Amino acid sequence: MKVGVYSIFVYLHVFSAILSIGPLFVLMPIIRRLRKANPDAESAYLSIIRAIIRMVMHAGHMLVFTGTVLLIIGPWLWYTSWVVMTLAIMLLSAVFLAKGFTNVLKNFHQAADKHQVLSRLMTTSWMYIGLLLIMLWLMVQKPVIW
């Protein structure tokens, strides 16, 4: 059995995809609990949320890094339709959603309406999950659109 550099990077790429999607599903029940939490529990839940978001962001960076390496060393061209679409969605989520996550967490303690902040965090998380699932489909199915 021959294990090449390419297959090691595919493995690392899939592993980082798991780490970027999985923890987001833990985020939802914690946000729901945070809504009803007293001040002591509130800071405990917030630190769990921060840890989850940090993990998802690191995994996202690893996903982009390993994906880029796969493009450089592998047979796929960067302008293949499924690659271009993934790159476009990735850029979109980095610009709009990643910012949304950090802003929400930074401003939580000062926020007058915490329920509104948490609703935004919930919406951002669902949108991010949606975009990740679309990218997952593009990666696995590799549809040739043009």
Distance CA 135, CA 146 (A): 17
Report which DSSP code applies to 80: S
Instruction: Look at residues 50, 55, 59 and name the one whose alpha carbon lies nearest to residue 106.
Output: 50
Can you tell me which of 74, 106, 126, 143 binds ligand HEM, judged by CB under 6 A?
74
Nearer residue to ligand HEM within complex by CB, 44 or 133: 133
139 binds ligand HEM (CB under 6 A): yes
Nearer residue to ligand HEM within complex by CB, 17 or 53: 17
Instruction: Look at residues 93, 102, 103, 95 and name the one whose alpha carbon lies nearest to residue 126.
Output: 93
Binding stretches for ligand HEM (CB under 6 A): 10, 13-14, 17, 63-64, 67-68, 70-71, 74, 76, 83, 86-87, 90, 132, 135-136, 139-140
